[in-house]
Amino acid sequence: MVDWDGTEIMRTPRLLLRTFQAADLPRYAELNAQPQVAEMLGGPLSRAESDDIAEWAQQLWARERLGLLAVERLADGEFLGMCGLHRLRERPGDIEVGWRLAYQHWGQGYATEAATAWLDYGFDVLGLPRVISVTDEPNVRSLAVMRRLGLTFLETDQITDNGETFDAVVYAITAAQWRARRATTAVPQETP
């Protein structure tokens, strides 16, 4: 039995990162059926398929403290999509950071902001040595987010997702690279 309690995991300046609530499920299904989103998924997902992903994410969080969890805008409580850490079946030794936001929320920095928090969590809390991110070449928007996060090209691979096999590009960042990058982009604190 899945608990749809919306437990807060982290906050960023604009976002609440939390487990899914039952009220998120229809909005998540709408997101997964949007043509712009579905184009990168190999086609739209049904409500049942969308609910299954959310249920899997909840169970993964409960079991491993990983999961592609809900992203909510703090200003108005709007459900934006999901982001988080998980394992790909084809790459069980790696942890991937991934995101999926509703089309109307693209281009506002939300994916980068949420993924930054998850990378901090992965390296600082979980002690991961490296995090990857995977997409296909035509997904230029996700590639741009990966680059903004400081991930760099690692290799190509064939990945099967939702029954579809595609040629993927794999980007990665190590804990040391993340910490060095974070140190150079940190805002200096004012002294009293």
**What's the number of domains the chain is made of?**
1
The residue range of the domain holding 70 is 8-185
> Has residue 101 been placed in a domain?
yes
Q: Which of 27, 115, 21, 15 minimizes the C-alpha distance to 74?
A: 15
pLDDT digits (tens, 9 = 90+) for 130-159: 999 999 989 999 999 999 999 999 999 998
pLDDT level of residue 1 (50, 70, 90 thresholds): confident
pTM above 0.75, yes or no: yes
Assess if residue 169 is contained within a domain. yes
Strand pairing partners for 11? 16
Rounded CA-CA distance 97/84 in Å is 6
Residue 147 forms part of a structural domain: yes
Q: Has residue 85 been placed in a domain? A: yes
Q: Which pLDDT tens digit goes with each residue over 53-82? A: 999 999 999 999 999 999 999 999 999 999
Which CATH number fits the domain that encloses residue 75? 3.40.630.30
pLDDT of residue 186: 62
Mean pLDDT score of the chain: 93
